[in-house]
Chains A and B, each alone.
Chain A
């Protein structure tokens, strides 16, 4: 049967693409040695941070790009994941496997709760309610003095992965994060190319139609929400491990906005869009800020240009999303009205 969903194995991957991925992989593996050679080993930490944000942005892309759910509260997962691991470490529990698993499961559970409530709404209300939940968690983390409150939580040591030196060495950390990044990307790739992924893409197009053929769209949306939340938690866990510090600012709505910007810049609805967006945005920030304090000015214009010019991917995404979001209970927006 030619339309059978199981036949989801993609077309044979073009040779150029494979070679490209291989080249990037080799470059990534070699980076610590290259940087060391030219005396820029300080930047290994920056690269590690970029990769961590890449994981977070890719997780957002799952719900934003693939499922079309505009969540303005995604930073909450990164923040809660970071706090979970931070608190565990400060209480003496430094086993990486225990801590990371706990953080991921906690965020998955949180996403389940939040998704259950938020996914009942649509359009701007969905945006507002996801924002509301993230802000609630932000104020919560601000208020609990035992975990630092608005001063943040500093931790004395890093996670112990069972490998010697993993706690002190920046290079080891870089490779660990790289491995997690590759695994995350692989996970996302497998999900989106599976039967489950097909349903998600169909939901983004038109979830009413999906409901009408007997597939419960809500359950699928909830599932992808949970997966995205779990991956966000992973990013947070890695973040606090690298920075040895977590503050409530990680949960603020402007952080959610930053993640969304990374997704847009990198490519909505693509596998590694989040990663490229993170690399681009953070590099822009560090480069421009060497020359001027006002780097946000330039980033703002770049972002504005991207959105207004709307490269093809963004345009098709937005048209479909707005058609869906106007919903059944409102007069459909007549696009031809131009003030």
Chain B
């Protein structure tokens, strides 16, 4: 396996991991601060993608559409929080699971009714070609933009969480909610803001990944489970944990699609190797999670006291 191949696969893993991080960070904050399991988080990712695809048809500009879609999704998320999800904070986890499961059904069908089951979305023309990063490696410029976006947002989140007052509230709330409340933090606004932020992050991921995958109803379900695995590994409430967890999972997944089938092909027929590789990678991700739960049940970087 050449150096170029390893570098290219590493970039692929990084790209996927960073997008996963966008979803996981919002999820971990919501869970950490509001103590709410939100299965509908993936639906926000889907809505971000659909809004972008629809807006591109109207505005003909990709990045403008992404920007608008993020704002719209964030507003929608905050509305959802203020009306429906509020009543779930005081409920037990199972009720939250079932209520947000019901929400997934409702949102999936609503999107289907408004836009149909799928919409086309392509990356902008000026990004549809490659860039020669190092001699011999032409990497898709659009994927590089995704990586750059992911890193910038990670940096932004880091700054917000560690350097701003709101970030301090977020950390306090994640660490010990009752104490934070006792110290006079306005829970109302904090919760809504956190949810809005989470929704915005989902929308970015949905919009950016959509040209590589497909804008379709139900696209949130698959990535949602991975996001949950990430936050369990990383520690609930910890953005840094979500970052590390996402990159870990991104690497394992990419490795599964390249390294493992390569190895399996040595002793299995190609169809079997092709099926076994991704499956083993997925199983490894869950084994990793189960392992972390066993050894350090609160996750790698747990914030809660």
A and B touch in the complex (CB under 8 A): yes
Write out, one digit per residue, whether chain A residues 120-157 have a CB within 8 A of any chain B CB (1) or not (0). 11011101110111011001101111100110000000
Nearest opposing residue in chain A for B226, CB measure: A135
Q: With A and B bound together, what is the CA distance between A129 and B51 in angstroms? A: 34
Closest CB in chain A relative to B286 CB, distance in Å: 4
Contact A331/B176 with A128-B289, A322-B91 known, Cβ cut-off 8 Å? yes
The reply on B102 being an interface residue by CB < 8 A is: yes
Q: Tell me, yes or no, whether A42 is within 8 Å of chain B by CB.
A: no
Kindly name the residue among B90, B94, B286, B305 whose own CB sees the greatest number of chain A CB atoms within 10 A.
B94
Residues of A within 8 A of B289 (CB): 128-129, 132
Chain A residues at the B interface, C-beta cutoff of 8 Å: 64, 70, 72, 117, 120-121, 123-125, 127-129, 131-133, 135-136, 139-140, 142-146, 149-150, 253-254, 257, 260-261, 264, 293-294, 296-297, 299-301, 303-304, 307-308, 310, 314, 318-319, 321-322, 325, 330-331, 333-335, 337-339
Q: Does the CB pair A300–B97 fall under 8 Å?
A: no
Residue from B84, B94, B181, B225 in contact with A131 in the complex, judged by beta carbons closer than 8 Å: B225
Residues of A within 8 A of B287 (CB): 136
B215-251 Cβ-contact flags toward A at 8 Å (1 or 0): 0000001000100110010001000000000000000
Chain B interface residues toward A at CB < 8 A? 31, 34-35, 37, 84, 86-87, 89-95, 97-99, 101-106, 108-110, 112-113, 176-178, 181, 187-188, 191, 221, 225, 228-229, 232, 236, 271-272, 275-276, 278-280, 282-283, 286-287, 289-290, 293-294, 297, 304-305
- Contact A121:B275 (CB < 8 A) given known A128-B289, A135-B225, A297-B106: no
* Residues of chain B lying within 8 A (CB to CB) of residue A128: 228-229, 232, 289, 293
A175 to chain B minimum Cβ distance, whole angstroms, is 34
In the assembled complex, the CB of A259 is this many whole angstroms from the nearest CB of chain B, namely: 11
Contact of B95 among A117, A149, A307, A337 (CB under 8 A): A307
Least Cβ–Cβ distance between B250 and chain A, in angstroms: 17
In the bound complex, do residue B279 and residue A132 qualify as a contact, i.e. CB atoms below 8 Å apart? no
- A322 with B92: in contact, given A136-B287, A144-B275 (CB under 8 Å)? yes
Complexed CA–CA distance, A303 and B108 (Å): 15
> Does B279 contact A143, Cβ atoms closer than 8 Å?
yes
* Cross-chain contact B283 with A140 (CB below 8 angstroms): yes
Residues in A neighbouring B279, C-beta threshold 8 A:
139-140, 142-143
Q: Closest B-chain residue to A295, C-beta based?
A: B109
A interface secondary structure, majority:
helix
Q: Report whether B178 and A307 are in contact in the complex, using a CB–CB cutoff of 8 Å.
A: no
Quote the shortest CB–CB distance from B224 to chain A (angstroms). Answer: 9
CA distance A64 to B93 in the complex (A): 13
Q: Which of A257, A307, A335 contacts B90 (CB 8 A)?
A: A335
Are B89's CB and A297's CB within 8 A?
no
A112 to B33, CA, bound (A): 35
Given contacts A304-B99, A321-B92, contact A143 B87 (CB under 8 A): no
- CB of A135 within 8 A of CB of B286, answer yes
Asked if residues A318 and B275 are in contact (CB atoms below 8 Å), the reply is: no
The residues of B that contact A144 with a CB separation of less than 8 Å are 275
Q: Tell whether, in the assembled complex, residue A125 and residue B232 are in contact, meaning their CB atoms are under 8 Å apart.
A: yes
Q: Are A149 and B91 in contact (CB under 8 A)?
A: no
Contact status B99-A307, CB under 8 Å:
yes
Instruction: Flag if A337 contacts B181 (CB, 8 Å).
Output: yes
Contact B91 A333 (CB under 8 A): no
